[in-house]
Amino acid sequence: MEPASAVARALREAPLEGLEALIEASSDDPRATVASAVARARRRLERERADRERVAGLYRTMDGLAEGGLAVGVDEVGRGPLAGPLVVGAVVLPPEPIVWGIDDSKRLSPAARERLDARIREVATAVSLVWVPPADIDAHGMSACLRRAMGEAVSACGVEPDAVLIDGNPVHAHPRERCLVGGDGRVASIACASIVAKVARDRRMVELDAAYPGYGFASNKGYGSASHIAAIRSLGLTPEHRASFCGRFVD
């Protein structure tokens, strides 16, 4: 008989596709360690099945909004921070394979975002990122920068979309845009766009933390935390700050 610890490990590490069969094969094992592992595996199976149904729903919504045609999902990261770039992501997904686990990037752990970013880039028909530096935001305003960046991100995908699906309110970035509030948690390609944009921007903020120590960019990602505002007041602004966002924190 296989050691109980080995059976428990197999149940813990088994991929979803083989988990149900492994549970059934182990369910009559009288050993307490195995029985506990089977119970945990059953709960995991239920959770993962429910999550797969959720993700399948994101794909169905995407397909419905595009009326069966080609959809580009678009989302931005970094609209509100005091420092760092605005990043717009655009993603085109094929019907298969499905990228399981996708969601609004804000609901995912950093590790999950990194894993999904890699998977999205493997699977997607097209992925594009457009970066808007703080100086452009100061010069032209957020709305104009967002509109231009979203249009550029769609163009960079190199496809002629039947629908451009954007998270949030109307941007008027593309004649075929369809905007959905909360779209990053409702539409597969928008969720993927939010993930790739978030991962890229977070990596950049870690780089900026090394270039401009004292502001906590690696942890606050440029947002206006109390410690970040205190650093602005004591150290002043960097070239990566949006001066138009920081007027009340500087003399």
- Report the C-alpha gap between 30 and 15 in whole angstroms: 24
- Between the two ends of the chain, the Cα-to-Cα distance in Å is 75
Q: Is 20 within any annotated ligand binding site? A: no
Amino acid of residue 206: V
Q: Return the closest-CA partner of residue 17 out of 48, 56, 47, 38.
A: 48
d(CA 141, CA 112): 33
Rounded Cα distance, 91 and 193, in Å? 5
184 labelled ligand-binding: no
d(CA 65, CA 240): 37
Residue that is written with structure tokens 């790739």 in the block: 196
Burial call 27-52: b when 16+ CB within 10 Å, e when fewer? eebeeeebbebbeebeebbeeeeeee
Confirm or deny that 104 is annotated as ligand binding.
no
What residue ranges in the chain does DSSP mark as E strands? 71-77, 86-92, 126-132, 163-167, 177-180
- The Cβ of residue 10 has, within 10 Å, a number of other Cβ atoms equal to 17
Alpha carbon distance 64, 247 (integer Å): 45
Rounded to an integer, what is the distance from CA 180 to the centroid of its chain? Answer: 16
Residue ranges of the annotated binding site are: 75-76, 167
Residue ranges of the annotated binding site for a divalent metal cation are: 75-76, 167
